[in-house]
Structure 1
Amino acid sequence: MCTAATYQTKDFYMGRTLDYEFSYGEEITITPRYYPFHFKHGAVLEDHYAMIGMAHVAENYPLYYEGANEKGLAMAGLNFVGNAAYGHPMDDKDNIAVYELIPWLLGQCASVADVRKLVKTLNIVDTVFSPQFPNAQLHWLIADANEAITMECMKDGLHIYDNPVGVMTNNPPFDKQLFRLNDYMALSPKQPSNNFSDKLDLGSYSRGMGALGLPGDLSSSSRFVRAAFVKMNALSGNSEVESVNQVFHIMGSVEQQRGCCEVSEGHYEITIYTACMNVSKGIYYYTTYTNHQITAVDMQKENLNGEMLVRYPMLQEEKILIQN
């Protein structure tokens, strides 16, 4: 499972964790403006916005997990198992396969407002990339510096939700996730006062008791509440280092450690990587489960007028600084 969250200082950022039991060999992938996207049902983008993100590249095609384009729009796909449902091609629609959605939107839209317009004719279809790559069941967090939305395609159609917290996990559907925050409206970063009874002399015996009751388990609904609380109360300076550092701390609140979430006998879900995208500048930062050093790939340092994908494998070896 996964978690994604936005963050705003001087620049706009989106972070995400990729939680799973194995890796597909994903790479940080830059798609320049003139790499041709030939979509399964006829649409072609030969001239589009450049983008950077994490992708598994198959047959020279970037299967993006998340990404940001040069205009300041970011998008992340997260598992939505049991709820996601896709349609069949229709003559009067833009028929886009699940794996094509991120480049289709990031290639054409400069803002969430653009996305809202473009998806009016969107039909997300169940066409697979290949027999070896069945479709993932996904929903998406889409955001710019001004607003965020959650997009979910279910049996009853395509849903676009305003996302005022800029956070998304997995199940249940987003409207139910957002409503559940009402259960935690009493939480606070401040120390609590005694509202229990004026007949009892009650007081705080530890720091952090204003957040007593914040869920700490690894379920998607609990990660949503925890990430929302941390993100909505997070503070940092405006510098790049301070901002990136804070995004990784926000995402660290929902990391999964090997051994804590068994998905089958001897197999455990872990946070394979954590990403922070400076969406304003097109810089992709990441850490992996085995390498906590923050590594960066800057889209602007590549030839964005090219036609070939630019790919960087994730650095996996732990870097430990010996100070003495």
Structure 2
Amino acid sequence: MCTAATYKTKDFYFGRTLDYEFSYGDEITITPRNYVFNLRHMGTLSKHYALIGMAHVAGDYPLYYDAINEKGLGMAGLNFVGNAVYNEVEEGRENVAQFEFIPWILGKCATVKEARELLSRINLVKTPFSEQLPCAQLHWIIADKEGAIVVESMADGFHVWDDPAGVLTNNPPFDQQMFMLNNYMHLSPKQPENYFSDQLGLKAYSRGMGALGLPGDLSSASRFARVAYVREHSFSGESEAESVSQFFHILGSVDQQRGCCEVEPGKYEITLYSSCCNGDKGIYYYTTYENHQISAVDMHHEDLDGAALVRYPVLQGEKIYMQN
């Protein structure tokens, strides 16, 4: 399971948690403008915007989980098991394989508005990357500083939803997630007032009681409500350090700890990594389950006119600062 969110101060920030029981060997990967994507049904994509994000690189091909391009457009794929349905190749359409979707959008679009227009021509197809890496069942959030959309390919059609909450988790479908936020409209960061009875001397006995009823379990529907609430009420200064720190605190509200979500005997889902991209500066920040120190890679420190992938290993191992 995973959670993605947007945040805006002076700059635009986009990121996600990736929650799973094991890692495929992920790397922070920069795809420069002249790297050639050999597409399965659409020829080649050889001139495109540069990207930075987290990817599993298979045979020199970046399979991105999440990324942001040099123009500040971000995109992330999240598990959508049981609901995602992809199509057969259709003549006359832009047939994009599911695993090509992130580079196709981020390579060609500078804004959510441009992505919407491109999405109107896409046929998202079920061609797998390989026998060893079949199609993942995903849906996607696409966002820039002006707003966000969610893309879902399902049995009943291809949906592009406006995402005013600026968040995405997993099942159920996005429109149902948004509807269920109605259950929490009474929540507030302020202390509650007594509407129960004017005959009873009821009063708040603790700070934070305005958020009583905010779900705390690990289900995707509960994580959607929780991170939407936390994001909506988050406040920070506009400096880079304050903004990045606050973004990781937003994602921290839905961290998964080892032992709390058993997927099979002895195996547990954990938050493998959390990411925060500054879309204006092209910096990819991240933490991992084993390393809470924020690490960063700046795409603009690399040759973005190159043709070869630039790959950085994920830094593991807890970094503890001793003060004495």
Match of 1:312 in 2: 312
Give the deviation of 1:307 after TM superposition.
0.1
For the 8 Å contact 2:42–2:94, the answer to whether it is kept is: no
Give distance in 1, aligned partners of 2:281 and 2:82: 36
- AA aligned opposite 1:39: L
Which secondary structure does the structure 1 equivalent of 2:242 belong to? helix
Give distance in 1, aligned partners of 2:157 and 2:301: 40
Give the deviation of 1:45 after TM superposition.
1.1
Match of 2:89 in 1: 89
- AA aligned opposite 1:254: V
Which secondary structure does the structure 1 equivalent of 2:294 belong to? strand
Gap regions ≥5 residues in structure 1:
none
Gap regions ≥5 residues in structure 2:
none
Give the deviation of 1:42 after TM superposition.
2.7
Give distance in 1, aligned partners of 2:257 and 2:23: 15
Match of 1:105 in 2: 105
Which secondary structure does the structure 2 equivalent of 1:143 belong to? strand
- AA aligned opposite 2:156: D
Is 2:116 the counterpart of 1:123?
no
Give distance in 2, aligned partners of 1:99 and 1:246: 31
Is 2:154 the counterpart of 1:162?
no
Match of 1:138 in 2: 138
Match of 2:171 in 1: 171
Give distance in 2, aligned partners of 1:79 and 1:144: 21
TM-score (norm 1): 0.99
Which secondary structure does the structure 2 equivalent of 1:231 belong to? helix
Match of 1:223 in 2: 223
TM-score (norm 2): 0.99
Give the deviation of 1:148 after TM superposition.
0.3
For residues 165-193 of structure 1, what are the alpha-carbon distances to aligned partners after superposition, in whole Å with 9 as ceiling and x for unaligned?
10000000000000000000000000000
Give the deviation of 1:281 after TM superposition.
1.0
Give distance in 2, aligned partners of 1:67 and 1:226: 24
Match of 1:68 in 2: 68
Give distance in 2, aligned partners of 1:214 and 1:107: 38
For residues 221-253 of structure 1, what are the alpha-carbon distances to aligned partners after superposition, in whole Å with 9 as ceiling and x for unaligned?
000000000000000000000000000000000
Give distance in 2, aligned partners of 1:34 and 1:170: 34
Give the deviation of 1:43 after TM superposition.
3.1
Give the deviation of 1:57 after TM superposition.
0.2
Which secondary structure does the structure 2 equivalent of 1:178 belong to? helix
Give distance in 2, aligned partners of 1:157 and 1:99: 19
Is 2:58 the counterpart of 1:51?
no
Give distance in 2, aligned partners of 1:210 and 1:142: 32
Which secondary structure does the structure 2 equivalent of 1:292 belong to? coil
For residues 189-209 of structure 1, what are the alpha-carbon distances to aligned partners after superposition, in whole Å with 9 as ceiling and x for unaligned?
000000101110010000000
Which secondary structure does the structure 1 equivalent of 2:116 belong to? helix
Match of 1:250 in 2: 250
Give the total of aligned pairs.
Answer: 324
Give distance in 1, aligned partners of 2:141 and 2:274: 16
Structure 1 residue runs of 4+, over 2 Å off?
A: none
- AA aligned opposite 1:268: Y
Match of 1:206 in 2: 206
Which secondary structure does the structure 1 equivalent of 2:293 belong to? strand
For the 8 Å contact 2:53–2:284, the answer to whether it is kept is: yes
Which secondary structure does the structure 2 equivalent of 1:276 belong to? strand
Give the deviation of 1:80 after TM superposition.
0.2
For the 8 Å contact 2:42–2:96, the answer to whether it is kept is: no
Is 2:282 the counterpart of 1:282?
yes
Match of 2:9 in 1: 9
Give the deviation of 1:38 after TM superposition.
1.2
For the 8 Å contact 2:3–2:168, the answer to whether it is kept is: yes
